[in-house]
Structure 1
Amino acid sequence: MSGNLPEDFTSFVGRRRELDQVRRLLSSARIVTLTGVGGVGKTRLALRSAAELRAGFPDGVWVLELAALAEPWLLAQAVADVFGLPQSVRGPLPALIDHLKDRRILLVLDNCEHLLEAAAAFVLELLRACPQAHVLATSRHLLGFPGEHVLPVPPLASPPLEQLPAPAELAEWEAPSLFLDRARAVDPEFTLTERNRTTVARLCLRLDGLPLAIELAAARLRVLDVDQLLERLEDRFALLKGGNRAGLPRQQTLGALVDWSYQLCSAQEQLLWSRLSVFAGSFDLTAAAEVCSGDGIEPDEVLDLVAALIDKSVLLTEGSGPGGGRRYRMLESIREFGRARLAESGGEPALLLRYRDHYRALAARATAEWFGAEQLTWANRLRAEHANLRGALEVCTVGPAGDVAGLELAADLWPYWVCCGFLSEGRQWLDRMLAAGPARTTARAGALWSSGSLAVLQGDIPTGTALLTECEDMAAELDDQERLAWARQYRGLALMFGGGDLRQASALIEDAVRLHRAAGNLLGLGKSLYMWSPVLSFLGDGQRSAAVAQESLEVAEGQGEQWCRSYALYMLSLAAWRAGDLGSAKALALHSVRLRAPFRDSLGLAMAVDILGWIASAGGKAEFAARLLGSTEPIWQSVGALEFGFQDMVAYYEEAVRRSRAQLGERLFAEAFHAGTRLDQDEAVQLALSDTEPPVPAARTSGNGLSPREQEVAGLVAQGLGNREIAERLVLSQRTVETHVSRIMTKLDLGSRAQVAVWVVRRDG
């Protein structure tokens, strides 16, 4: 685990004393909060401190920016997302605690002031349960709970004017040093001289040593010299304070600087500044033009206006986005100022609706184009827009006008929620919209099956089944064949996951296949086919199961699609494994992992990596198998797969664990397995893809179609042992034994344990 500490693109000036204080505090305390006014440099100090302390946290330094997070209920989930954890039906905090309970990490929570109560509760719970975790927070206010160590962040130091040093010594003071550094970014020839040293020192004092204010002022050197800059600042402060130039409070100083920057903008630049403040997080030029043009700004004027705001340090660039093109953002103090101007203008409600509708259109287009060659581009683009998607959903929760819009937006994002691992967040948004939305509409039916399917995928079978049944009834009443197909498809999956009637599950999914095929819905067809495949396999129809998975693969390949194809490959790999063709099983599983990894679909990756673990174990690579199987253990614990729907795969997993433990011995196996559990998702993928040797061939089935473990279970059934006794004898869970017995009866077409006993006697006789 390496963390996600961002790269620092600008030089860091001064703060040696504060850096040492943070280091000292974190050596004995587990929560340190950096406090201070906006613009004083809390974030930069936190990130620099984290970079210097990285070596002391072997499990990584992890950063979460909270400014764009409006909802307190998303805080724990946002932290879990930073660690790449699968979204669990248990909730994000238990999964996060399980992941971090024995890891030494530093978590940086930046800009907590608007989420103080939620942040305090989260940090307190995390630190109680994870004894090696440390937190470094930034906030304009302390979090306020026992054990919190608060470090006020002071402004940068400047020398007194009456003891002004020579230029070389002046450059060693923090505030003038920062001004000099940023001035040279604008004018490489700028330097401190005997002539300008007093002006620079006075300017830094008038700016109260606030880094953001100094950087904003330095940006004006593009059009002013340093004397003109100071003169205009003095005039500005005098105007704002009624002629009293002494002792400006620091927050007013920053406000004056931001307001001065605002006043120096043209009317159009001011208008765009205020409108851009609706974006949460970063945005691209297309979004800026579509949301912010009109009523005084033409679309083709946005580019030049954005460039002007960059020149004035109002906007920052963030490199290229996933689809190409630059992305931009505002510092939080700048954004707050712009939002206030927007509210004062009376234009905020209308602009928020345009903002919402832009992301509704983006989500609808992503869904329409999801099942195709641009799928991964869309996945990455929606990830880049995640904060804005949350912002648009939040707009939908305000007022009755947002009811249908919220249902449609949350449902249109369903492929993103599923494929990119945001199951819990998707459910919460969908459930919020369903609680407020109108009854008996196609939009509501779409949200019902979307939420129901996410619940099923998380193992919440009762909730999922109820939502899907409601959708099925509504869709039938509305004659909505598309939503009827989706509801039946996932109700069939719920039956399979919940240990229900497999024949009924097969019939439901088969009907969904028929409806999707008739409608030409390739996304639905591809998904329903690969979902049908395991049901057919569990019913003992391996040949048809493989054929259905192959058709799913062909449908996906025909569109250049990637995610559905990875699942079809997984099903074909599983079929090859069951047939004893380890070479094909491994090749198919590796291909599945390669296709799936960019989506960060934790559950799907765990399934494919597990097959590679089984194959490694069967081929005698016990240590490698133990690490692979350990790498998926946290995911299974989070998703709860041992409790629903994956019993057949669990049996193979347990068999591989038993075999590897027997080959290595308990101590070496435990060490390798534990090492696997500490890998993050990227590291687990790298490990899985590192083994390119062909597997050792091994016969997996006998002529009767039973695996070796199933034949062993059948023999114990014939001896008259019950499921609990068999579980104790084989060191398996009772649920796994029940699954084996059910599979045996299905494959042999037998109706009772007594008939299994007779079959064993005849086989052995």
Structure 2
Amino acid sequence: MRRHQRDGGPADGNLPQELDAFVGRSVELADLARALDAARLVTVTGAGGVGKSRLAARAAALRVPRDGVRRVELAPVRDPRFVDHAVAEALGLTDHTARPPRETLLAHLAERQLLLLLDGFEHLVDACAELVGALLRTLPGLRVLAAGRRPLGVPGERVFPLAPLGEDEAVELFTGRAALHDVPVTDDRDVRALCRRLDGIPLAIELAAGRLRALSPGQLLERLDDRFRLLADGGPDASPESPPRTGPGAPPPRHRTLRLAIGWSHELCTPRERLLWARLSVFAGRFDLEAVEYVCAGHGLDADDVLDVLTELLAQSVIAREETPAGVRYRMLDTVREYGADWLEATGDAARLRRRHRDWYLGLATWCELDWFSPRQDEVAARVEAELPNLRHALEHCLTEPEEAHLGQYLAGSLWFCWAGCGRLAEGRHWLEQVVELDSGHDRSRLKALWVLGYVAILQGDRVSALAALRECREEAERCGDAAAVAYAEHRTGCLALVTDDMPRAERLLRSALERYEEIGELNSNVLMGRVELAMTRAFQGDLPGAVRMCEDVRRICEDHGERWTRTYALYVLAYAAWADGDPARARALLGDCLTGAHAFHDLLGSVLAVELLALVTVVEGDAAEAAVLQGAAGRMWRSVGLPLFGSAYYNAPHQLCETTARQRLGDEPYEEYVREGARLVREAAVSRALERPLDAMPSPREPARYAAASPQTHEPAASRTRKGGETAG
């Protein structure tokens, strides 16, 4: 199952689909298009609910440059340090290195012509302004369209203030939304008066239209007029949603109109609807029904009633429903969420709701970690990606509450499969480094975070940090008698020895770790990965039959449990052995399966290893030019992985053999040109090219079996050296 594409996917962008008609704004769209032609940074500003996001998205969809449009939704981001991560995520970037996200962004966008749409940045304005300024100064092909309540303040910015809808367009919007509720509107005079009273603010108009099942336009107007008159006359406006009417802190009139319109809509809700509205404000980004039922039920709202109340809020446009790869999700507009958050604070129940939110996402992470080793692995990957804003929110909560530090350590450690298996090493490193510094008083939670930190650092190529974390984990685990943490620390230390070419030590540590896993009854993706890594040590030391037996066993267990991620690495070793045995057709089939699986999980390491070996298989089959192209593509991918082939002589030997053979057949200049061609391929294109080369198009003469597993010191087949009685030492 392929999930949505990341890292250099097609240029169609990630703009949200319009679920209802876009009304009016033809003049504004034309003016905004001209502004985008004249300036590289245009910021659409205006009060909440005036339609900034919708207009910007429509303008972006009508002006797609060569490399597409990418929208960055910043409303769910709470920490300014995550702005760069959010942009990288929206661009679909997967980077396994330890370099900062800013560096990755600059490298990825260097030769692209792209329109970046930043939406909802006002609470992060300083961080966004600094990032946008740096990007625009460095990247001539980048344009930025921003939508927020205030300008970014970056030099060269063109500010585009957005006014509310004119009366005719406001009436068209109201009647159109009324039709969605199957309510015909016939009294044009009341509708026009209502739209004027709401200052033509689209969100306020949509909230009003959501009430038409119960009230006529005339009744809506009468109630709204009463609400405005009451506040204007100095009536009871001490509710948390009501801003001061005068003085230096008074909000702009139209913002006040929107707040009052939302407050009026809130007053028309039943007590249960108001309660759920307030409680939904604890979510960051989108949320699903199960989460709402757990977090928001109780204390005046029965769990059995949650769906009915949620449906009413949906009908009244308080929330919106969306289809996502992870299923149906709901969301609240920022202004509506802020209003609900004010009410939640006023009820005195905010702290309890935040704990409920944290508990749900702790449980979700636990479930996902267990189900990672199951046929639901794809579902888990999609689910955790959809829930990342709320998982981050839960982590932030744990970090700000000292008594919950151990829960933050547990959560960051339990998400190892997201950090390591789904291409989010940089974000994982960010959280793990924070939580291991906390003195939680809970050894097991911190030890888990430590070995996961060591694992992430290995994958990023940061050997010093990896060794420090794993050594501390091992020593502390032995002190407190945590057998599982000892096994994981030993396992990952063996993995570190593997990628640094110390094969005897790697084999010794990995065997010991696997014995420890067996003693405690541990079987999961990590344990199976340890078996694959042990098989790699045997393959690199010349014992190909032993490596094959181990990986066939791992492959069988993975298929029995529906595990696909670790299976890709077992397939890599089996393909390596097939190539070494002189069977390039089998090697290619295995590598195609391997690459498909690794790419689906955004696992850059698994992907680039497969492409590297596919290049060697291709030259063995007689197509040196295509092999050089694949080597160039792999070289570009390694920049996002870390040190090419780990700097390992063992991992590098097939690459060197491929390059030597291709150069001999093509000549140096043509070889370098083909490599440059491959280096121009973005990851998606490189993977497609590697996978889609039809077998019947391969050159017919097969290379002789002399292309077997080469040691780092010589191109003599390792299998033949084993037959002569010696194993290759690390």
TM beyond 0.5: yes
CA gap of 1:76–1:687, structure 2 versus 1, over 3 A, is same
Question: Is 1:463–2:465 an aligned residue pair?
Answer: yes
Task: Name the counterpart of 2:4.
Answer: none
- The structure 2 residue matched to 1:66, chosen from 61, 69, 74, is 74
**Per-residue deviation, residues 686-744 of structure 1 (Å, max 9, x unmatched):** 333212306556446549x6649965699xxxxxxxxxxxxxxxxxxxxxxxxx9xx99
Aligned to 1:688, what secondary structure does the other structure show?
Answer: helix
Question: Is 1:595–2:597 an aligned residue pair?
Answer: yes
448-457 vs 618-627, which moves further: 618-627
CA distance in 2, matches of 1:120, 1:262: 35
CA distance in 1, matches of 2:161, 2:676: 41
Task: Name the counterpart of 2:641.
Answer: 639
Q: Is the CA contact 1:59–1:103 (under 8 Å) kept in the aligned structure 2? A: yes
Question: Is 1:297–2:296 an aligned residue pair?
Answer: no
CA distance in 1, matches of 2:330, 2:152: 30
Q: Is the CA contact 1:577–1:700 (under 8 Å) kept in the aligned structure 2? A: no
Question: What TM-score, normalized to structure 2?
Answer: 0.90
Task: Name the counterpart of 1:425.
Answer: 427
Q: Aligned-pair distance for 1:86?
A: 2.2
Q: Is the CA contact 1:618–1:698 (under 8 Å) kept in the aligned structure 2? A: yes
What are the within-5 Å matches in structure 2 for residues 552-701 of structure 1?
552-642=554-644, 644-657=646-659, 673=675, 676-677=678-679, 679-693=681-695, 696=700, 698-699=702-703
For the aligned residue pairs, the C-alpha RMSD in angstroms reads 2.8
- The structure 1 residue matched to 2:19, chosen from 9, 32, 42, is 9
| Larger RCO (CA under 8 A, 6+ residues apart) | 2
Q: Aligned-pair distance for 1:603?
A: 2.1
Question: What TM-score, normalized to structure 1?
Answer: 0.86
CA distance in 2, matches of 1:512, 1:544: 18
Q: Identity, % of aligned pairs? A: 39
Question: Is 1:218–2:213 an aligned residue pair?
Answer: no
Task: Name the counterpart of 1:735.
Answer: none
Q: Is the CA contact 1:363–1:413 (under 8 Å) kept in the aligned structure 2? A: yes
- The structure 2 residue matched to 1:119, chosen from 128, 131, 141, is 128
Task: Name the counterpart of 1:517.
Answer: 518
CA distance in 2, matches of 1:230, 1:258: 14
**Per-residue deviation, residues 496-528 of structure 1 (Å, max 9, x unmatched):** 2234x3211211111111111222322132110
CA distance in 2, matches of 1:392, 1:648: 42
What are the within-5 Å matches in structure 2 for residues 209-608 of structure 1?
209-242=200-233, 249-319=253-323, 322=326, 324=327, 326-438=328-440, 441-499=443-501, 501-523=502-524, 524-608=526-610
Q: Is the CA contact 2:580–2:705 (under 8 Å) kept in the aligned structure 1? A: yes
Task: Name the counterpart of 2:54.
Answer: 44
Q: How many residues align?
A: 700
**Radius of gyration: which is bigger?**
1
Q: Is the CA contact 1:539–1:747 (under 8 Å) kept in the aligned structure 2? A: no
Task: Name the counterpart of 2:7.
Answer: none
CA distance in 2, matches of 1:41, 1:126: 26
CA gap of 1:595–1:530, structure 2 versus 1, over 3 A, is same
Aligned to 2:44, what secondary structure does the other structure show?
Answer: strand
Q: Is the CA contact 1:630–1:674 (under 8 Å) kept in the aligned structure 2? A: yes
Q: Is the CA contact 1:529–1:551 (under 8 Å) kept in the aligned structure 2? A: no
Any gaps of 5 or more consecutive residues in structure 1?
A: 159-172, 715-739, 753-765
Task: Name the counterpart of 1:19.
Answer: 29
Task: Name the counterpart of 1:733.
Answer: none
CA gap of 1:440–1:277, structure 2 versus 1, over 3 A, is closer
Q: Is the CA contact 2:413–2:452 (under 8 Å) kept in the aligned structure 1? A: yes
CA distance in 2, matches of 1:661, 1:682: 26
Q: Is the CA contact 2:281–2:337 (under 8 Å) kept in the aligned structure 1? A: yes
Q: Is the CA contact 1:106–1:136 (under 8 Å) kept in the aligned structure 2? A: yes
Q: Aligned-pair distance for 1:365?
A: 1.5
CA distance in 2, matches of 1:320, 1:109: 20
Task: Name the counterpart of 2:90.
Answer: 82
Aligned to 1:53, what secondary structure does the other structure show?
Answer: coil
Task: Name the counterpart of 1:153.
Answer: 162
Any gaps of 5 or more consecutive residues in structure 2?
A: 1-9, 236-244
Task: Name the counterpart of 1:161.
Answer: none
Q: Is the CA contact 1:120–1:144 (under 8 Å) kept in the aligned structure 2? A: yes
Task: Name the counterpart of 1:143.
Answer: 152
CA distance in 1, matches of 2:479, 2:323: 50
Q: Is the CA contact 2:622–2:702 (under 8 Å) kept in the aligned structure 1? A: no
Task: Name the counterpart of 2:242.
Answer: none
CA gap of 1:278–1:747, structure 2 versus 1, over 3 A, is farther
CA gap of 1:210–1:226, structure 2 versus 1, over 3 A, is same
Q: Is the CA contact 2:500–2:648 (under 8 Å) kept in the aligned structure 1? A: no
610-619 vs 578-587, which moves further: 610-619
